[in-house]
Each structure stands twice: as C-alpha cells, then as structure tokens.
Structure 1
Amino acid sequence: MQPRAWTFEELLAGATRSAVHLEMRDVYYSNPRFEAWRQGQRVDWADRASWWRPFHQDIADAVGRGVRVRRARVVCEPVSEYIRWEHYVTEANVRAGEQVRWLPRRETGSLLMPGRDFWVFDDQVVRYSDFGGDGAYVGEEFTDDPGVVALSAAAFERVWERAVPHEDFEIE
C-alpha cells in the first residue's frame, strides 16, 4: 500500500483542488495546548500570533490557491474532554480557511468508513494516520491505489453530507 512516503506539507502544497480529512477518534494524544486548556487557559483569538501555527499558514496558503480544505469529525456523544477542547480550538482551523463539520457517531450506522483517520488530496493520494489505543500517534501510511482512493473519498463525502457545520454543532 505504501507507494512512497510524502510529507503532509508536500501533499498539501501540491494540492490543486481539494484536501479532505476524516477524523474518527474521541481521544488523541495529549499535548501542552490541551493540558493548558484543561487548566483553564483560553486562547486570545484577537492575538493571532499567540495561536497561529505553521499548519494554519499551510491551510491558508492552500485555500488561497483555490484548494477546498474540508475536515469532518465523527464523535461520540456526550463528547470526550478532548473533543470538547478540539471543538473550542477549531476556531483556528476555520480562521485559516478550513471548512469543518461534526457528525455524531450514532448517525453513522448505515455508513461504511475506513477504520482509520485519513486525508485525501485531489482524489489522488490517501494518507492514513495510525494511533495507539491511548491516542498516541504511531505512524502513517500512503496509497495512490485508485480503488482505495475512491473508497476513501466516497466515505468522506457520505460523512460530509450528514455532518453538521462547525458553527451549528453545539457541545453540551
């Protein structure tokens, strides 16, 4: 399945039409920003320099080139503390130009989805992300197999159609 290894940055920089991301975990690895949020620290959205990261610039650059960047998150409800934080910090993704939607897991019963998070770039390459049971990132795998790419892209679109736009998705 691994035709060659690209970096995320290379794939996004080379995208000309679309980059879509499906996330299906309720907990990812802990990080300092999550831990700070857990301690009550909040982002000063007016101070862009304090939260803007290279990732956000990469997204903004892609969107500026006309690439449609979309992210769909499938989540259990009630949501985990980690997803509560992700919902909060998604403001940064939106400000970078990403479109984000959320789909409660209970609404996915009739959907067939790969069992791994993934990105699809221009309907040409899939980058799968692998995580351990504790949410720690353990690696990635790439494929440009047309059949696998088509299945992944179709799975994303089915989720996207049902999902709720970020600004309308309320976390209780």
Structure 2
Amino acid sequence: MSPSVPPPAFTDLLAGATRSAVHLEMRDAYAVDYESGPFAEWRRGHRHDPADRASWWRPWLGLVEETVARGVVIRRARIVSEPVSEYTRFLHSFTFTNVAAGELVRWLPRRRASELALPGNDFWLFDDRTIYWNHFTGDGVSAGGEVSEDPGALKLCAGAFESVWSRAVPHDQYEIH
C-alpha cells in the first residue's frame, strides 16, 4: 500500500475477516499513563470483577464477541520477558476478559522464542491475506498502523505466529514469574 494512502480502519479489517484474526504482541510495555487511566487504577488495586461484564474493556470486547459469533477464530500470542514487567502483570490480570469474549490467548516466555524468526513489529494477520502492522515509538506510544499484503511478509507473519503459538502456554495455565 502506498504511504500516501491511509490504511483501512482496524475495525474494518476485523469486520472483513471470515476465518481468522491472529495478533502477535512482542513488547514488555506499551504506552501507559502512570498518573491516570486503567493502568494507574490497577496500580491502586482495581481489578476487574468477573461477574460484572458490563464494566470490562469496551468497545473492544463487544467487537470480539461479534467477530467470534460470525465464526472467526481470534488468537492472541504474547511474547514476554521473565520476570515480567509491571505492565505485563497488568495485562495478565484482565486477560480473562479477552478469553471470556472469545479470544484464545497464549503467553510465551521470551527465552523460549530465541530460535524463532520473528518480524520486527507487532501485527494482526487477517485470513492469512492482510497484515496490519502496529508501529510503536521507543516509549511504547502508538506510531500508527500500516497495512501490507506482501507475500513474503504474509508468509513470515503466518509462520512466526504459528511457531509462537505452538510453544506458548494457554492463558489459564500461564503463571506470572
């Protein structure tokens, strides 16, 4: 896709998926506001109540539920350093909400990823035909997305995700270290 053409909205890409949407996350922290917002609330002791689905991360979880209801399998794999960062502890604490919405989530300790060929950026891969690259600054702030249908990149991302997925631990079995 030409750099002058803005990428399609992520929600449109997910809405267009018919079989699968996979997401590979490889950072130990993403931009968080230490003073306010969900991360700060978590640091002060807030935890999601499993019985209060309405309070969970919206509108994302609603979109996941709708997508899964259409028959699309959504898988998320996270490569994490151990001992994990405070941010990873935060992510882990509410990942049960993603699972409840229909995502399949696994965690891979970074030491077990050393022999894997991985792309340089986090990504979503839709139906093995469209990549949505997630670009971040060094501080973890989103630097925007980019869409690609390059055959070589598609092959790399599909293979990388499956390699990570096969080594990773399902969310309900992963213990924070």
What one-letter code is carried by the residue in structure 1 that aligns with 2:13?
L
8 Å contact 2:47–2:93 — kept in the other structure? Answer: no
Whether 2:25 is the aligned partner of 1:23: answer: yes
Q: Out of 124, 135, 160, which is 2:165 matched to?
A: 160
Cα distance in 2 between the residues matched to 1:120 and 1:38: 32
Q: Supply the RMSD in Å over aligned alpha carbons.
A: 1.3
- Tell me the equivalent position of 2:131: 126
Aligned-pair CA distance for 1:133 = 1.2
- Tell me the equivalent position of 2:90: 85
What one-letter code is carried by the residue in structure 1 that aligns with 2:145?
E
Q: Name whichever of 48-57 and 74-83 sits farther off.
A: 48-57
What one-letter code is carried by the residue in structure 1 that aligns with 2:66?
D
- The alpha-carbon distance between structure 1 residues 94 and 2, as it changes in their structure 2 partners (threshold 3 A), is farther
- Percent sequence identity over aligned pairs: 56
What one-letter code is carried by the residue in structure 2 that aligns with 1:64?
A
Q: Out of 56, 71, 76, which is 2:76 matched to?
A: 71
Cα distance in 2 between the residues matched to 1:2 and 1:109: 33
Structure 2, unaligned stretches of length 5 or more?
Answer: none
SS at match of 2:39: helix
Q: What are the Cα deviations for residues 44-95 of structure 1, in whole angstroms up to 9, with x where unaligned? A: 2211111141111111111111101000000000000000010011111001
- Tell me the equivalent position of 1:13: 15
Cα distance in 2 between the residues matched to 1:103 and 1:8: 25
What one-letter code is carried by the residue in structure 2 that aligns with 1:8?
F
What one-letter code is carried by the residue in structure 2 that aligns with 1:16?
T
Aligned-pair CA distance for 1:20 = 0.1
Q: Name whichever of 13-22 and 40-49 sits farther off.
A: 40-49
Whether 2:64 is the aligned partner of 1:59: answer: yes
Q: Which runs of 4+ in 1 moved over 4 A?
A: 1-4
Cα distance in 1 between the residues matched to 2:111 and 2:69: 35
Aligned-pair CA distance for 1:147 = 2.1
What one-letter code is carried by the residue in structure 2 that aligns with 1:145?
D
Cα distance in 2 between the residues matched to 1:75 and 1:59: 23
8 Å contact 1:2–1:143 — kept in the other structure? Answer: no
What one-letter code is carried by the residue in structure 2 that aligns with 1:20?
V
TM-score norm. by structure 1 comes to 0.96
Aligned-pair CA distance for 1:41 = 1.2
Cα distance in 2 between the residues matched to 1:138 and 1:112: 23
Whether 2:99 is the aligned partner of 1:94: answer: yes
- Tell me the equivalent position of 1:34: 39
- The alpha-carbon distance between structure 1 residues 75 and 2, as it changes in their structure 2 partners (threshold 3 A), is farther
8 Å contact 2:47–2:94 — kept in the other structure? Answer: no
8 Å contact 1:116–1:130 — kept in the other structure? Answer: yes
TM-score norm. by structure 2 comes to 0.93
